[in-house]
Amino acid sequence: MVHSRYLRKIGEDRTNESICTFARSFNCRQIDPWVLRAVYEELSRHLAVDGHPLPIRADDQWEKDLRIDPEDFGELAMDIAHRAGRSIEEIGKIPWYEGLKTVRDLVMFFQRQPKLMGVEQ
């Protein structure tokens, strides 16, 4: 309940933000757009309140600002990897996410993972 109110307030403060706003905070010539889309959409869907996806910012801290439980983070990261067509070998190395604080860190982590062969996006 408190978490929903907190996320609802964040959403209200970001009413004019979208995946386009998120993407512009990266150098799109260096980042795979499938990684950007996968991270943004999976996080915003995971954090949806009342059926409304939460606009995500690159500098959001996934644990502190978005309050994503570390226990949920592993499964969420596997969903992102699958959607982005990236290997998840590193995800099995616990705690692979120790150095990842922000959503930007998460994008860069998946950007560095090898693409899966034969995955159509």
Query: In this predicted model, what pLDDT tens digit does every residue of 70-92 receive, in sequence order?
Result: 888 888 988 999 999 998 776 65
Question: Mean pLDDT, the chain, as a whole number?
Answer: 88
Q: What's the pLDDT score for residue 94?
A: 47
**Per-residue pLDDT at 7 exceeds 50:** yes
3-state helix, strand, coil in the chain (%, to 5): 50, 5, 45
Q: Return d(Cα 90, Cα 97) in angstroms, integer.
A: 9
Question: What is the domain partition of the chain in residue ranges?
Answer: 2-112
The region of weakest confidence among 55-59, 64-68, 93-97 is: 93-97
Q: What is the mean pLDDT of residues 60-68?
A: 92
Global pTM exceeds 0.85: yes
